[in-house]
Each structure stands twice: as C-alpha cells, then as structure tokens.
C-alpha cells in the first residue's frame, strides 16, 4: 500500500509540475487571470459604488430612482444571467456603435469584458454597502464641516470618506471575497480563468482529485490572505476609535 501511495503522490506532483507535461503553469495562469479580473472588477465596482452611494444620498429625485432600479435589478438576478446579458449587450452595443461610426468590428479582449461585466455587478452591491457606511457617519460631523464652509468635494475627502471607511470595511471585505469567487462564473462563458483551467486540466488527465483540491487551495489562499490583510486595514481604519469591548 505504501508503494502505491508513493506512486500516487509522485504522479500528483508530476501533474502539477510547471513544465508542459504538468498542468501547474496552466493553473497559475488561470489564477493570474482570476486575480486580475477580480481586482479590475472590484476597482470598477468601487468607482460605480462611490458615485452610486453619493447619488442615492444626495442626488436629485430622478437619479435616486434610477439608482434604486439599478441596484434592485442587479441584486435580484443571478450573476450568471447578468454576465450573459451584459456580455452580449456590451459586445453587441460596442460593435454597433463602431459600425455606425464607419469603423471595423472589434473583438474585445475577454479580460476587459469580464472586468466590465463583473464591475457592473459589484457596483450595485458596493453602492448599498457604501451608502450604509456614509449613513453611519454622525450627522454632526458633516453639519460641522458644512458650517465651516467646506465645499462638498473637500467635505467628502476630509470628513465623510475617512469616517465611513471603518463602517464600510466589513461589507466591502465580503464583496471582495465575492468578487474573487464570482470570477469562476466567467468559466461558463468559456473564459480561461482558474476554474476553467482546472476543468480543462482534470478533464484531460482524469485526475479530478488532484486539480480540484489544488485549485481550491489557491482560492482559499486568496481568501485567507485577503482576510488577514483586511483585518489589518480595519484595525488601521478604526485607530482612534474607542474600543467598545468590555463595556
């Protein structure tokens, strides 16, 4: 039995080797794609979310209603369906625009498509989290800043954003973990990120119990390191706040 186990372990290592007979390089390339898309989508989602949160709180009535429709629809429909709709709509619209301007059709890189599509989804969730974070900033702080005559951009930069960071961080951390896991959905539309790479590797070699645990370990590595880093970030964001434990 020991001999068999040794052979199994050796072949597992061979399968995961970085050079071509092994699939390690494919998995790592998939991991790289996943991380790039997650980072890009999260960044785009943050830009949308920040605008959306301020729009929902301080915007005009029409803007508020439109944002409500956006966040409600995106949060009610499965990400996979949104990805398909946005995937076709985004590439279709862009090509229609290009054609009407008399330009050639373009094949948009799948990474850009993935980032835009997941970014729009992230934006809806981040809008809600950031809105909650802003609402939790004591009103007196913002009123005081207004009374000092601060223009609204300066007020956001100096008062609202620093004070809301600690409130919004737990929710934002959750959304970051969601973003990394949602990249797996792009496998369904044929994009070669970590899950798709794992699928290809295991379908070719039939070594399902080598590649799936390995890929899961990579995903866990991302989420565990993120959790540690975010914990530090939150500690930093809460500096100067009174500790409520033990009261």
In the complex, the residues that contact other proteins under the rule CB under 8 A are 61-62, 65-66, 73, 76-82, 84-85, 88-89, 177, 181-185, 187-188, 195, 198-199, 202-203, 206, 208-209, 212, 215-216, 219-220, 223-224
Shortest Å, Cβ 145 to other proteins: 30
Compute the Cα dihedral for 101, 104, 109, 114 and give only its sign: positive
Minimum gap (Å) between residue 198 Cβ and other proteins: 7
In the bound complex, what is the minimum distance in angstroms from residue 61's beta carbon to other proteins? 5
CA distances 188 to 81, 114, 165, 171, 184, Å, are 11, 12, 35, 27, 8
Closest CA to 174 of 84, 2, 52, 45: 45
Q: Would you give the distance in Å from CA 112 to the centre of its chain? A: 14
**Alpha-carbon span 194 to 26, nearest angstrom:** 8
Q: CA 106 to CA 189: how far, in whole Å? A: 18
Closer residue to other proteins in complex, CB, 85/99: 85
- Least distance to other proteins, CB of residue 67, Å: 12
Residue 138 beta carbon to other proteins: minimum distance, rounded to whole angstroms: 25
Nearer to other proteins, 47 or 80 (CB): 80
Q: In this complex, which beta carbon is closest to other proteins, that of residue 33 or of residue 183?
A: 183
């Amino acid at each position: 039995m020991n001999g068999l186990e040794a052979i199994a372990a050796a072949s597992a290592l061979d399968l995961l080797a970085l050079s071509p007979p092994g699939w390690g390089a494919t998995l790592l390339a998939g991991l790289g794609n996943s991380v790039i898309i997650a980072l890009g989508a999260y960044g785009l989602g943050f830009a949308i979310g920040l605008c959306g949160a301020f729009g929902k709180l301080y915007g005009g009535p029409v803007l508020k209603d439109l944002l409500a429709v956006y966040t409600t629809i995106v949060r009610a429909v499965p990400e996979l369906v949104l990805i398909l709709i946005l995937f076709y709509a985004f590439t279709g619209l862009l090509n229609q625009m290009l054609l009407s301007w008399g330009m050639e059709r373009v094949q948009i890189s799948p990474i850009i498509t993935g980032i835009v599509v997941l970014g729009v989804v992230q934006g809806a969730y981040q809008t809600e989290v950031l809105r909650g974070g802003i609402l939790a900033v004591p009103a007196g702080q913002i009123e005081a800043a207004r009374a000092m005559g601060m223009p609204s951009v300066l007020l956001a930069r100096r008062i609202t954003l620093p004070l809301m960071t600690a409130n919004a961080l737990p929710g934002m951390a959750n959304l970051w973990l969601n973003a990394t896991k949602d990249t797996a959905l792009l496998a369904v539309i044929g994009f070669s990120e970590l899950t798709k790479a794992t699928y290809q590797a295991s379908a070719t070699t039939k070594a399902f119990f080598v590649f799936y645990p390995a890929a899961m370990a990579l995903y866990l590595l991302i989420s565990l390191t993120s959790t540690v880093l975010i914990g530090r970030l939150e500690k930093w964001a809460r500096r100067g706040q009174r500790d409520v434990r033990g009261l």
